[in-house]
Structure 1
Amino acid sequence: MSNFQLGLIIAGAVVLIIVIAHNAWNSHRNAPKRAQPPEGPASVMGEGGLRQEPGFDAQHLPAGQTDGFEGQRRDPADGLDLPAHPPERRGGLDALIDAIAPIACEQPVAGEAALAALPPTRRAGSKPFAIEGLNQTTRAWEMPQAGQRYRQFQAGVQLANRSGALNEIEFSEFVMKTQQFADALSAAVDFPDMLHEVARARELDQFASEHDAQLTFVLRARQAAWSTGYVQQHAARQGLVAGPIPGRMVLPASSAGLPPLLTLDYDPQAAMSDEPEQTALYEITLSLDVAQVARSEQPFARLRELAKGLCETMDGMLCDQNGTPLPAMAMDPIATDLEQLYTQLDARDLSAGSALARRLFG
């Protein structure tokens, strides 16, 4: 073999090695980014590869919207920016968003009898329905409880929610369920006028439709895709925890029992994969349900901070729902509009994050 032939063989081998190395480098560069191993002995890996600290059970944190009649009755102290908030109690029909029918009993009724007479469901059509009793000892309205006695009750059906306004059929179902409860206790009911309540429901629904805001932004990968573990790890560093369904993480509220401040969503199929580090995610979404979160929590400012942090650490780009990139200045008008919305909700006694707002916009 001549020196010339040998040189050609060597040159060809060098070119082949370069091509193989280049392809391997490109494959590594474009492979989904993976989570880094946990640092130190103090961290443990939770479900789906999410880092958790010992003694911190993310599944018991608030992770979604509440419905029904959760929260307290309106109080003059509502809306104060206190440093800490006690968990809210259940119960509290309110004439602002409920059609209410008083129920008068001839004799005190045991809580056990009231519980036995309650209808099997707590909805009239698509609207929450509830019956409360006036505790003879504490003089407080509450859901009937065993061991207590009641002389008065009241039944209520919500006038509107995100399913729409209370209609005549739903009102009739409310009347039927309430009358059955009253008959079981030999009590008398004073129903409000149906046409009046349906008209109130439509007006409230119109207000709610004009003041409902659910903001969603998309965070897209600039180059390499992300694995689910990579997303979970970086989101956890920003304070998010595992949510109630696969593919969801949440930023918890400052008080237990309240809806999360923000939610982060990604492909649920990828979240349930047997090999999460082999999945490839090209986008995630960040959402804020405005009416569900108190103004004092500054959720939009926290959303901007969260989005900025994730964009920087994950090499992502913030976009609107149509995929159009959003510069930082585009968020300022949204913040201004939200402040006006908060003020309008306050003026209607439906402050964002209040029990009534969470029910109306639920």
Structure 2
Amino acid sequence: MSTLQISLAVIGAVLLALIVAYNAWTNHKNAPRRAERSDAPRQEPAFDGVAPLPDLADAQGHPPPEERDGDFAATVPDESALTFPPSSHSADRRHALDALIDAIAPLSLDHPVSGEAALAALPPTRRAGSKPFAIEGQNEASGQWEMPAPGQRYRAFQAGVQLANRTGALNEIEFSEFVAKTQTFADAVGAAPDFPDMLHEVARARELDQFASDHDAQLAFVLRARQAAWSPGYVHQNAARVGFVGGTLAGRMVLPATGEGGGAVLSLSFDTQAALSDNPEQSAMRELLLSLDVAQVHRSEQPFARLREVAAQLCESMDALLCDQNGSPLPAMAMDPIAGDLELLYDKLDGRDLSAGSPQARRVFS
């Protein structure tokens, strides 16, 4: 072999090595960031209270439940299926009937009824159409209204159906279903119901629904990777460092309230398929959705201030950019007017006795 051929072979080998090294460097650079082994993410206790939310909006109109919350929506879960510890911001009886937001029918009795008999007479479902339906009994011993329980006796009952929620206002068909279910229960326990006027209650429902629609603020912001993508483990690790815990749904974390069991303050959502991947550390994500359901969180939690703080911390630790849902970067000054608008919204909710984070607000804005 000539000297020229040897030289060309050496040069070719060097070039090949450089190409391989460059490709390896490029693959490493573009690989999703992974969680550090020294601080591997743990499966935290489930603590979920709200569904993924849409962009900043004051909802108007009533599209179907699966569409009402926009492109990032998931069907809002039945609140009765969620478990919340007692909240420092809410009454002990979270689902107690309330004349402010429920149509209520008293059921009088000639003699006390046992809790066992009441439970046996309850309808199989706790909804009238899309509205929550409930029956309470007045405990003979304590005089308190409560959900029927075994071993207790009740001297009166009352049935109620919620006037409005995010699916819209109570309508005539739903009111008729409420009447039918209540009458069936009354017949079973020997009670005499006194139903409110349907047209009056439907009118109340529409007025409440209009107010709720005009004051239903749900905020969402996008955290977008500047350079390298993120793995689910990397997201969990960085989110846990600022206080997030795992939610009940894959691809979802929540920031708990600082008060005693005050529910979730913020929600952090990402690609469900990446979270459920067989090899999640190889899954690459470039966007996260950080959201706040305003009416669900008490104002004393300062949820918007915490959102801004969390967003800033995550942007710094994950090399991310805060954007609106159209992908436009949001400077810090763009957030200040939102804070002012939220204070006005809180005042209006307080004035209607639907204070953010209260049991009544959580029911209406769900």
TM-score, with structure 2 as normaliser: 0.87
Distance in 2, matches of 1:200 and 1:64, equals 26
1:289 counterpart residue number: 293
Q: Residue type of the partner of 1:196?
A: H
Runs of 4+ in 1 over 6 A off after TM superposition: none
Q: How does 1:1-362 map to 2 (within 5 A)?
A: 6-39=6-39, 50-51=41-42, 58-59=45-46, 61-64=47-50, 67-68=79-80, 88-255=92-259, 257-362=261-366
1:70/1:91 contact within 8 Å kept: no
Q: Is the 8 A contact 1:262 1:303 kept in 2?
A: yes
Q: Deviations over 1:252-300 (max 9, x none)?
A: 1235654311111111111111111110111111111110010000111
Letter in structure 1 aligned against 2:146: E
Partners of 2:158 and 2:82 in 1: CA distance: 16
Report if aligned partners of 1:62, 1:256 keep a CA contact under 8 Å in 2. no
1:261 partner SS: strand
Task: Name the SS of the counterpart of 2:224 in structure 1.
Answer: strand
* Structure 1 residues 195 and 70: CA distance shift in structure 2, 3 A: farther
Which residue number corresponds to residue 42 of structure 1?
none
Alignment CA distance shift 1:102-1:179 (3 Å) = same
- Distance in 2 between the 1:208 and 1:244 partners? 27
SS of the aligned residue for 1:334 comes to: helix
Cα distance in 1 for residues equivalent to 2:232 and 2:82: 34
- How many aligned residue pairs are there? 337
Task: Give 1:67's aligned amino acid.
Answer: E
Alpha-carbon RMSD across the aligned residues, in angstroms, is 2.2
- Separation of aligned partners in 2, 1:257 and 1:194: 37
Distance 1:177 1:257, change over 3 A: farther
Identity rate, percent: 67
Q: TM-score of the superposition, structure 1-length normalised?
A: 0.87
1:221-267 CA-to-partner distances (Å, cap 9, x unmatched) read 11111111111111111111111111111111235654311111111
